[in-house]
Amino acid sequence: DIQMTQSPSSLSASVGDRVTITCRASQSISYYLNWYQQKPGKAPKLLIYGASSLQSGVPSRFSGSGSGTDFTLTISCLQPEDFATYYCQQSYNTPLSFGGGTKVEIK
């Protein structure tokens, strides 16, 4: 099974900050890596698929990069609505798996 490790598990940031979240896979997953945003009481929302493709309707301040085992999600200029928990997910093979999440909090 492929293990997904996110870091940090939480971070505090201010509006306007640049934020980077890292996701590492326990084996190569090529570019089969997706990112989601989840707010309390809501279902996750797809932000990035295929490691770097922006989902339709998602603001361009979100970007993804990486391939193989190491991936990053970057929020270029943090907005108030971006405070949430972010998850990575590998879709390289089954069982599909998610990272443990990164909670982005207001500083």
- Binding positions for other proteins, rule: CB under 8 A: 1, 32, 34, 36, 42-46, 49-50, 53, 55, 87, 89, 91-92, 94-101
- Closest approach, Cβ 59 to other proteins, in A, equals 17
- Closest approach, Cβ 98 to other proteins, in A, equals 4
Non-local (6+) Cβ contacts of 4 within 8 A are 23, 24, 25, 26, 88, 89, 90, 97, 98, 99, 100
Tokens describing residue 80: 């108030």
The smaller minimum CB distance to other proteins, of residues 19 and 97, is found at 97
- Closest approach, Cβ 93 to other proteins, in A, equals 9
Non-local (6+) Cβ contacts of 40 within 8 A are none
